[in-house]
Amino acid sequence: MLIPYLLLAVAIIIIFRIVMDISYVFDGLRWIWGVILPFFYGFLLAYILNIPCGALEKLYGRTKSGFIARKKRGLSIISVYLLLLLFVFFVLNLIIPQIYNSITFFIANFESYQNTTMAAIEQIDSYLDTDLTGMLADQLQFDNILSLLQGFIQDGSGFFWGTLANVGTAIFRMFLALVTSLYILLGRTSIQGYFKRAWAAIFPPRVSTATFKYTAALNQNFRQYIYTQTIDGLIIGTIATIALTIMGSPYALVLGLMIGLFNYVPYFGSIVATIIAILVVALTQGLTMGLVATIVLIVLQQLDANVIQPRLMSGSFSLSPLLIIISITVGGAIASIFGMIVAIPIMAVLKDLLDTYITYRENKKTPVSAPSSPEE
């Protein structure tokens, strides 16, 4: 009879020790997270690469060559990793140097941009008899902006050299993540089968069936969201880069990349990217070109919202704008940018789950009418 009380006392002691030594607990959790982090990145990389890998596997399966059809899974994995290496080479040798050069060029010419902007505002003041110059000088604080940009470059350089100092650890984690993703892709079917068997063995059939159903729906939502937002970002980023290049912006590539990447965050991402692009164009090319950029980018965003995205999404996420804003806000508060990106697919599944439960409760409360008698 004393065993339950003994177990309760041991549990209380353990909880007390955890609370008193909470810093050690967090240190231990951080150490555990550091150990599993490469495997988490490997799983994330495998999940993303599995999308093009599945498409290539279907493509290879349709060929007339028997060898290619039999080896379609392995050939698709090899093709995806070759494309990944080509993409990394392209980014490291073309994109990143362009971004760095654009930022340093912007900082070097920041003072002239500031003078041009303030001169244009002074002209507006003279026409409208206002004091926008003084107001903007107090609010914008150009010196602070310049210091922030210079600090960004210095921090970026420090991060680069700090990464080089720990290059061995970084290379090891990168290699471990790549190897993990490769083995996950190769054994995808067996890994999924094993986890399904284990889950079905632990939980009742009803729970297992519901779990498999909504897990499959969540997986489909993630795949659809990543695919559509990537294609949409490529389209919008390319069009924006071309348009800004025609307008003569020296930062067309950087601004186009920013607009494309920010597109992963619905509503807020496109708005923030458009505002930043307009401000950069207005600051570097004058208010007239800033007005032109405003018109061009707003038209582009409307084209994206009303034509491109609906065709890509095809009604996959039937969420109201209010639900999307709430999910993005909550996701961002929980996990920053990553939380914003995954918020929409998760909210779609939660809404589907809630709708199913509401329908079940409504059907349960609806009285079943008695069958009519033959005499009636």
Q: What is the pLDDT of residues 20-34, one digit of tens each?
A: 666 666 777 778 877
Give yes or no: residues 174 and 214 share one domain. no
Distance CA 309, CA 321 (A): 14
Q: Are 258 and 273 in contact (CB under 8 A)?
A: yes
Q: Which of 192, 218, 247 is the last residue of a domain?
A: 192
Q: Which of 192, 217, 246 is the last residue of a domain?
A: 192
Q: Is 351 inside a domain boundary?
A: yes
Give yes or no: residues 24 and 172 share one domain. yes
pLDDT reported for residue 164:
46
Its domain, for residue 174, covers: 14-124+156-192
Q: Is 131 inside a domain boundary?
A: no
Give yes or no: residues 337 and 293 share one domain. yes
Give yes or no: residues 49 and 176 share one domain. yes
pLDDT reported for residue 160:
47
Q: Is 75 inside a domain boundary?
A: yes
Give yes or no: residues 207 and 187 share one domain. no
Q: Is 179 inside a domain boundary?
A: yes
Give yes or no: residues 286 and 330 share one domain. yes
Give yes or no: residues 174 and 210 share one domain. no
**Chain-centre distance for alpha carbon 96:** 19
Q: Is 63 inside a domain boundary?
A: yes
Is the model's pLDDT at 239 over the cut of 80?
yes
Q: Is 5 inside a domain boundary?
A: no
Give yes or no: residues 219 and 294 share one domain. yes
What is the pTM assigned to this prediction?
Answer: 0.70
**What's the structural domain count of the chain?**
2
Q: What is the pLDDT of residues 267-304, one digit of tens each?
A: 778 888 999 999 888 888 888 888 999 999 999 988 88
**Chain-centre distance for alpha carbon 309:** 16
Give yes or no: residues 175 and 247 share one domain. no
Q: What is the pLDDT of residues 39-75, one digit of tens each?
A: 888 888 888 888 888 888 888 888 887 888 888 888 8
